[in-house]
Structure 1
Amino acid sequence: MRKWLPLVAICLGAFILLVDVTIVNVALPSMASDLHASFTSLQWVMDMYALALAALLLAAGSLADLFGHRKLYAIGLVVFAIASLGCALAPNAAVLITWRGVQGVGGAAMFATSAALVAATYHGRDRGVAFGVWGAVNGAAAALGPVLGGLLTQGFSWQAIFLVNLPIAVVAIVLTLRVLPAGKRGTGRLDVPGAVLFTVAAAALTYALIRGGDHGWTGGLTLGAFALAVLAVVGFVVAELATAHPMLDLSLLRRPTFSGLLGGAVLFQAGAFGGFVYISLWLQNILGLSPIRGGLALMPLAVASFVVAAAAGKHTHRFSPALLVGGGLVLVGVGAGIMWQSVSAGSHASSLYAGLAVMGVGVGLSTPVLVSTAVEAVPPNRAGMAGGAVNTFRQLGMSLGIALFGSIFTSRLRDVTRHGGSVRAGYAAGLDRIFLASALAALAGGVLVFLTVRRSRGDGTPQGAPAPEPRDLAVEGGLSPSSPRP
Structure 2
Amino acid sequence: MSAINRAEKVAEKKWWALVAVCLGLFMALLDVTIVNVALPAIQSDLQTDFSGLEWILNAYTLVFAVALVTTSRLGDIFGRKTLFMLGIAVFTIGSLLCGLSGDITMLNLSRGIQGLGASAMTPLSLAIISATFSGKQRGIAIGIWGGVSGLATGIGPVIGGILVKHMGWESIFYVNIPVGIVAILLSLWAIKQSRDESAARRIDLFGFATFTVFMFCLIYGLIQVNHEGNDWTSPEVWWVLAISIFALLVFIVGELRLKHPMVDPRLFKIPSFTGSAIAAFCLSAGMYSLLFNLSIYMQSFLGLDALETGVKLIAFTAMALLFGPLSGALMGKISPKWLVVVSMALLAIGVYSMSFLSKHNDPAEWIVLLPGFIVAGIGSGLINPPISNLAIGTVPVQRAGMASGMSNVARQMGGAFGVALYGAILSSRFASLVTDRIQSLQGDQLSESAKGQAIQAIESAGPIVGSSGLAGMERDIAFQNDPLFDSYREIARASFVDGTIDIIKIAAAILAIGAVLCLVLIRKKDLRH
Report the equivalent of 2:302.
287
Give the counterpart of 2:510 among 441, 458, 477: 441
Distance 1:430 1:143 in 2: 27
The question of 1:239 aligning with 2:254 is answered: yes
- The Cα of 1:50 is off from its aligned counterpart by 1.1
* Correspondences of 1:85-484 after superposition (within 5 Å): 85-185=96-196, 186-214=199-227, 215-345=230-360, 348-418=365-435, 419-420=437-438, 422-455=491-524, 462=527
- The Cα of 1:54 is off from its aligned counterpart by 1.4
Q: Which digits, 9 at most, give the CA deviation of each residue in 1:44-77, with x for residues without a partner?
A: 1111111111121122222233223333222111
Q: Which digits, 9 at most, give the CA deviation of each residue in 1:5-29, with x for residues without a partner?
A: 4443333222221221221112122
Q: Which digits, 9 at most, give the CA deviation of each residue in 1:320-373, with x for residues without a partner?
A: 222223322221111101112344446711111110111111111112332243
Report the equivalent of 2:34.
23
Aligned AA (2:415) = M
Aligned AA (2:316) = L
Q: Which digits, 9 at most, give the CA deviation of each residue in 1:436-466, with x for residues without a partner?
A: 112111122222223223458xxxx635xxx
Range that drifts further, 165-174 or 278-287: 165-174
Using CA pairs below 8 Å that are at least 6 residues apart, which structure has the higher relative contact order?
1
Aligned AA (1:52) = V
- The Cα of 1:172 is off from its aligned counterpart by 2.6
Q: Which digits, 9 at most, give the CA deviation of each residue in 1:107-135, with x for residues without a partner?
A: 11112323333444444555444444433
Aligned AA (2:202) = R
Does the CA contact (< 8 Å) of 1:115 and 1:387 recur in 2? no
Give runs of ≥4 in structure 1 deviating > 6 Å: none
Report the equivalent of 2:5.
none
Task: Pick closer, same or farther for the CA change 1:37–1:362 going to 2, 3 Å.
Answer: same
Task: Pick closer, same or farther for the CA change 1:453–1:141 going to 2, 3 Å.
Answer: farther
Range that drifts further, 3-12 or 218-227: 3-12
Q: Which digits, 9 at most, give the CA deviation of each residue in 1:377-406, with x for residues without a partner?
A: 222222221111111110110000000011
Distance 1:98 1:426 in 2: 32
Aligned AA (1:331) = L
Task: Pick closer, same or farther for the CA change 1:115–1:372 going to 2, 3 Å.
Answer: farther
Does the CA contact (< 8 Å) of 2:390 and 2:527 recur in 1? no
Distance 1:171 1:125 in 2: 28
Give the match's secondary structure for 1:31.
Answer: helix
Does the CA contact (< 8 Å) of 1:320 and 1:455 recur in 2? yes
Task: Pick closer, same or farther for the CA change 1:455–1:172 going to 2, 3 Å.
Answer: farther
Task: Pick closer, same or farther for the CA change 1:274–1:162 going to 2, 3 Å.
Answer: same
Report the equivalent of 2:471.
none
Distance 1:352 1:433 in 2: 15
> What residue ranges of structure 2 are gaps of 5+ in the alignment?
1-10, 439-489
Range that drifts further, 346-355 or 118-127: 118-127
Aligned AA (1:436) = K
Aligned AA (2:409) = T
* Correspondences of 1:48-87 after superposition (within 5 Å): 48-87=59-98
Does the CA contact (< 8 Å) of 1:134 and 1:368 recur in 2? no
How many aligned residue pairs are there? 460
- The Cα of 1:181 is off from its aligned counterpart by 4.0
Give the match's secondary structure for 1:37.
Answer: coil
Does the CA contact (< 8 Å) of 2:326 and 2:382 recur in 1? no
Does the CA contact (< 8 Å) of 1:132 and 1:309 recur in 2? no
Task: Pick closer, same or farther for the CA change 1:310–1:462 going to 2, 3 Å.
Answer: closer
Does the CA contact (< 8 Å) of 1:210 and 1:406 recur in 2? yes
Aligned AA (2:209) = V
Aligned AA (2:512) = L
Aligned AA (1:253) = F
Distance 1:454 1:167 in 2: 46
Does the CA contact (< 8 Å) of 1:18 and 1:141 recur in 2? yes
Range that drifts further, 273-282 or 389-398: 273-282
- The Cα of 1:138 is off from its aligned counterpart by 2.9
Distance 1:346 1:34 in 2: 23
Distance 2:516 2:217 in 1: 29
Distance 2:41 2:118 in 1: 24
- The Cα of 1:140 is off from its aligned counterpart by 4.4
Task: Pick closer, same or farther for the CA change 1:387–1:176 going to 2, 3 Å.
Answer: farther
Range that drifts further, 315-324 or 45-54: 315-324
Range that drifts further, 73-82 or 379-388: 379-388
Distance 1:126 1:362 in 2: 29
Give the match's secondary structure for 2:409.
Answer: helix
Aligned alpha-carbon RMSD (Å): 2.2
Aligned AA (1:451) = V
> Larger Rg: 1 or 2?
2
Aligned AA (1:134) = W
Does the CA contact (< 8 Å) of 2:353 and 2:371 recur in 1? yes
